[in-house]
């Protein structure tokens, strides 16, 4: 079995998964929309009390079980294999549209380098978003096909330090801008009145789980490539702190520019692709800053897409017994097909479903609801159905952190996930900060439910047809029959 070549390589790959476009503009947008500094209180609680325990559980299970997300569920009960595959489908669907946005970041890097920053209205009215989506998907597939050492860790070791370095330089540049102090004040002035709002807490939890890529089997998969006997809680602390650090740093880059050029601080994705390019055009050395900014976005995004693809590739490879390269080609092809409608919706083809852009639709369905649902399934299955002794011994004995992690994952995390998801669905409606792309429109509850159902049905039909065409025994292939 493949293994990380060092602890540092594992950490950088895990940080690469966590640090993504979520840190660069989603965090600052959510912070700005929710009372600035005061938002940090629920966010830090969400990270350290809720997301981190689940992360410890995830990595530990990966390291102990040495399997994929599917075989981990199968270990508990062969029937739970369905949940494992369901989680894979959710990850792959999120990946399919996350790659579209990754494509935009690559497109903006290349176009800014070649000419001037494009207007988003022009960019999204061409076929370029589709082309860059295809390139981003192929790059992700290529890296994954090279494997854990030569692919995933090598790219993370280069891109993550590069991201931090570029952000540090950009933040230093930001201190020279006249809007620096205003930006700083905006980010850190607390408005404690917002703490009474339950939706704010919901937003903080959503952001924490999303930003740390926790509850979807990604860290479990990365954990399987770890050497045994490592201090996992310390690693999760490092990953969480690094994720937080990059989010702050990105805020320190974005807000001084926003206030110097009179842009709207809460515009989210629109800010990155519409307003900031206008500011870059007016800044001294603006072209360099623009290229660096979009390159950081692309680097951050691509290390996240790689981690998502690895979940699907590892699971499929294990159950079909294919080589890594063959499985990666199949998964890359599947994702190209799945993501194409989302890519086309923000292109001159303007693909829509009843007036809703497909990418907005995906963000509203799998993006908004998929993550809490999968984190819920994950914590409930492992914390409730795995024998307590197994859990305790995996977590280093009954007296250690198991005392905290087990009750948190059994009662508190599922409770909070259920409550915040219900609150989010019920109140709805315009809470833009729960989306991957702040600013996408709310498409309506009925549409969301129908959308989720349609997506699940389509995925199942696809899997079954593909299997039938190959003449394989689906039950056995998916692991219902056999225990590995």
What Å distances lie between residue 72 and 4, 62, 103, 334, 471, CA to CA? Answer: 20, 8, 32, 24, 26
Q: Does 378 bind ligand PHE (CB under 6 A)?
A: no
The Cα 99–Cα 196 span in angstroms is 36
Q: Which stretch binds ligand PHE (CB under 6 A): 20-28, 78-86, 277-285, 426-434?
A: 20-28
Q: Which is nearer to ligand PHE, 202 or 215 (CB)?
A: 215
Contact 103, 135 (CB under 8 A): yes
Q: Considering beta carbons, is residue 140 or 260 the nearer one to ligand PHE?
A: 140
By beta-carbon proximity to ligand PHE, the closer residue of 27 and 85 is: 27
Cα–Cα distance between 31 and 451 in angstroms, integer?
A: 29
Residue with smallest beta-carbon separation from ligand PHE = 20
Q: In angstroms, rounded to a whole number, what is the distance separating the alpha carbons of residues 264 and 275?
A: 8
Q: Which is nearer to ligand PHE, 141 or 179 (CB)?
A: 141
- The reply to whether 103 sits near ligand PHE by the rule CB under 6 A is no
Considering the rule CB under 6 A, would residue 335 count as an interface residue with ligand PHE?
A: no
- The reply on whether position 304 binds ligand PHE by CB under 6 A is yes
Q: Please, what is the Cα angle at 297 between 315 and 239, to 5 degrees?
A: 60
User: Does residue 216 interact with ligand PHE by CB under 6 A?
Assistant: yes
Tokens of 377: 């399934």
CB of 67 to ligand PHE, least distance (A): 19
Instruction: Please count the residues of this chain forming the interface with ligand PHE, following the rule CB under 6 A.
Output: 14
Which candidate, 271, 250, 238, 277, places its Cα nearest to that of 22?
Answer: 250
Binding part of the chain for ligand PHE, among 14-22, 147-155, 342-350, 383-391 by CB under 6 A, reads 14-22
**By CB under 6 A, residue 307 contacts ligand PHE:** yes
Helix, strand and coil in the chain, % to nearest 5: 80, 0, 20
Question: Considering the complex, what minimum distance in angstroms separates the CB of residue 172 from ligand PHE?
Answer: 24
Query: For residue 357, what are the β-bridge partners?
Result: 352
Of 57, 76, 31, 71, the C-alpha closest to 321 is 71
Instruction: Give the one residue of 11, 21, 139, 276 binding ligand PHE; rule: CB under 6 A.
Output: 21
Binding range to ligand PHE, per CB under 6 A, among 109-117, 160-168, 206-214, 269-277:
206-214
Query: Judged by CB under 6 A, does residue 433 bind ligand PHE?
Result: no
Question: Rule CB under 6 A: is residue 213 a binding residue for ligand PHE?
Answer: yes
Residue 113 CA to residue 286 CA, distance in Å, equals 11
What is the x/- site pattern for ligand PHE, positions 41-60, by CB under 6 A?
--------------------
Least gap, CB of 207 to ligand PHE (angstroms)? 9
- d(CA 223, CA 215) in angstroms, rounded, equals 13
| Near ligand PHE by CB under 6 A: residue from 218, 219, 272, 297 | 218
Q: Which stretch binds ligand PHE (CB under 6 A): 12-20, 135-143, 356-364, 471-479?
A: 12-20
Residue 105 touching ligand PHE (CB under 6 A): no
Instruction: Rule CB under 6 A: choose which of 18, 279, 330, 383 binds ligand PHE.
Output: 18
Closest CA to 47 of 64, 20, 27: 27
Handedness of CA 61, 63, 69, 73 (dihedral sign): negative
Query: With binding defined as CB under 6 A, does residue 111 bind ligand PHE?
Result: no
Binding residue (CB under 6 A) for ligand PHE from 210, 235, 298, 361:
210
- Among 369, 59, 89, smallest CA distance to 234 is for 59
Per-residue binding letters, 251-270, with ligand PHE (x by CB under 6 A): --------------------
- Find the part of the chain contacting ligand PHE (CB under 6 A) among 162-170, 257-265, 304-312, 453-461: 304-312
Contact 261, 278 (CB under 8 A): yes
Of the candidate spans 119-127, 213-221, 289-297, 328-336, the one that interacts with ligand PHE by CB under 6 A turns out to be: 213-221
Give the three-class secondary structure for 224: coil
H helices of 224-285, where? 232-260, 269-270, 276-282
Which segment (74-82, 209-217, 407-415, 416-424) binds ligand PHE by CB under 6 A? 209-217
Cβ proximity to ligand PHE, 13 vs 177, nearer residue: 13
Which tokens is 417 given? 């996930």
Q: Which is nearer to ligand PHE, 47 or 395 (CB)?
A: 47
Tell me if 23 contacts ligand PHE by CB under 6 A. yes
Q: Which is nearer to ligand PHE, 235 or 259 (CB)?
A: 235
Interface residues toward ligand PHE, by CB under 6 A: 17-18, 20-23, 210-211, 213, 216, 218, 304, 307-308
């Amino acid at each position: 079995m493949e293994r990380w070549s060092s602890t540092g390589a594992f950490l950088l790959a895990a940080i690469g998964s966590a640090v993504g476009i979520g840190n660069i503009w989603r965090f600052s947008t959510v912070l700005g929309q929710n009372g600035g500094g005061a938002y940090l209180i629920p966010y830090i609680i969400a990270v350290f009390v809720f997301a981190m325990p689940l992360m410890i559980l995830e990595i530990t299970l990966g390291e102990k079980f040495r399997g994929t997300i599917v075989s981990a569920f199968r270990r508990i009960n062969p029937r739970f294999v369905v949940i494992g595959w369901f989680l894979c489908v959710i990850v792959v669907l999120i990946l399919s549209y996350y790659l579209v946005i990754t494509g935009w970041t690559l497109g903006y890097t290349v176009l800014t380098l070649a000419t001037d920053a494009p207007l988003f209205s022009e960019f999204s009215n061409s076929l370029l978003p589709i082309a860059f989506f295809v390139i981003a998907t192929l790059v992700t597939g290529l890296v994954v096909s090279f494997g854990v050492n030569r692919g995933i860790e090598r790219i993370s070791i280069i891109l993550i330090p590069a991201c931090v370095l570029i952000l540090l330089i950009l933040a230093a540049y930001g201190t020279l801008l006249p809007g620096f102090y205003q930006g700083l004040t905006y980010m850190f002035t607390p408005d404690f009145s917002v703490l009474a709002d339950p939706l704010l807490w919901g937003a903080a939890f959503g952001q924490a789980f999303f930003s740390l890529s926790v509850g979807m089997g990604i860290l479990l998969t990365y954990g399987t490539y770890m050497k045994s006997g490592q201090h996992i809680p310390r690693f999760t602390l490092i990953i969480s702190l690094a994720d937080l650090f990059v989010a702050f740093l990105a805020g320190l880059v974005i807000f001084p520019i926003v206030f110097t050029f009179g842009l709207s601080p809460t515009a989210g994705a629109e800010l990155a692709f519409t307003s900031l390019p206008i500011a870059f055009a007016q800044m001294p050395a603006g072209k360099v800053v623009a290229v660096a900014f979009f390159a950081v976005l692309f680097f951050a995004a691509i290390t996240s897409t790689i981690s998502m693809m690895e979940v699907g590739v590892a699971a499929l490879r294990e159950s079909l017994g294919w080589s890594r390269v063959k499985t990666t080609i199949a998964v890359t092809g599947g994702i190209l097909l799945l993501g194409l409608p989302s890519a086309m919706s923000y292109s001159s083809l303007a693909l829509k479903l009843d007036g809703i852009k497909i990418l907005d639709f995906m963000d509203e369905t799998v993006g908004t609801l998929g993550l809490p649902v999968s984190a819920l399934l994950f914590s409930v299955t492992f914390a409730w159905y795995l024998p307590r002794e197994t859990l305790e011994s995996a977590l280093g004995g009954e007296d250690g952190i198991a005392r905290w992690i087990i009750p948190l994952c059994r009662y508190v995390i599922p409770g909070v996930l259920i409550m915040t998801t219900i609150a989010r669905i019920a109140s709805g409606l315009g809470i833009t900060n729960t989306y991957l792309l702040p600013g996408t429109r709310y498409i309506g509850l009925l549409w969301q439910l129908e959308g989720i159902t349609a997506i699940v049905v389509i995925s199942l039909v696809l899997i079954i047809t593909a299997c039938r065409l190959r003449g394989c025994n689906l039950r056995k292939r998916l692991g219902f029959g056999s225990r590995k």
